């Protein structure tokens, strides 16, 4: 009878050991999967931030180009206006000289 009890105790100990290894494996795999998921989420957030930064940089470049083009047009308009004004003053002076 003592032999049966010892055998039963050994079987129970083995079952507990196997269950512990099995549960530990599941916990480890689950933690690894969560870690991978977290890494992917962080990578996605980083990629999103980079894309946002690139979009802002592109928009700033476009705004700069538009300002530059507007300044050229304004400068051209001022030059044309000054030419017209000088011509008008010149003609007025010629008329006064007559």
pLDDT of 4 strictly over 60:
no
Count of structural domains, the chain: 1
pLDDT of 2 strictly over 60:
no
**Rounded mean pLDDT of the chain?**
75
Tell me if 37 is assigned to some domain.
Answer: no
For 29-39, how does the pLDDT look when each residue is reduced to its tens digit (9 = 90+)?
777 777 777 87
Tell me if 82 is assigned to some domain.
Answer: yes
Confidence of residue 1 (pLDDT cuts 50, 70, 90): very low
For 57-94, how does the pLDDT look when each residue is reduced to its tens digit (9 = 90+)?
777 778 777 777 777 777 777 777 777 777 887 777 77
Other C-beta atoms lying within 10 Å of the C-beta of residue 84: 10
Please give the residue range of the domain that contains residue 97: 49-98
Give the long-range contacts of residues 75-80, CB within 8 A, separation 24 or more. none
pLDDT of 7 strictly over 60:
yes
Tell me if 30 is assigned to some domain.
Answer: no
**46 DSSP 8-state letter:** H
**1 DSSP 8-state letter:** -
Tell me if 7 is assigned to some domain.
Answer: no
Tell me if 32 is assigned to some domain.
Answer: no
Tell me if 66 is assigned to some domain.
Answer: yes
Tell me if 94 is assigned to some domain.
Answer: yes
Q: What is the pLDDT of residue 75?
A: 74
Tell me if 16 is assigned to some domain.
Answer: no
Whole-model pTM: value is: 0.36
- When computed from its CA atoms, the radius of gyration of the chain, rounded to whole angstroms, is 42
């Amino acid at each position: 009878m003592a032999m049966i009890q010892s055998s039963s105790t050994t079987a129970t100990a083995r079952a507990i050991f196997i269950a512990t290894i099995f549960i530990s494996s599941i916990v480890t795999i689950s933690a690894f999967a969560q870690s991978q998921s977290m890494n992917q989420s962080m990578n996605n957030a980083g990629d999103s931030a980079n894309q946002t930064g690139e979009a802002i940089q592109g928009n700033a470049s476009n705004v700069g180009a538009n300002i530059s083009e507007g300044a050229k047009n304004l400068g051209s308009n001022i030059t044309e206006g000054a030419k017209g004004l000088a011509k008008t003053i010149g003609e007025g002076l010629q008329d006064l000289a007559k």
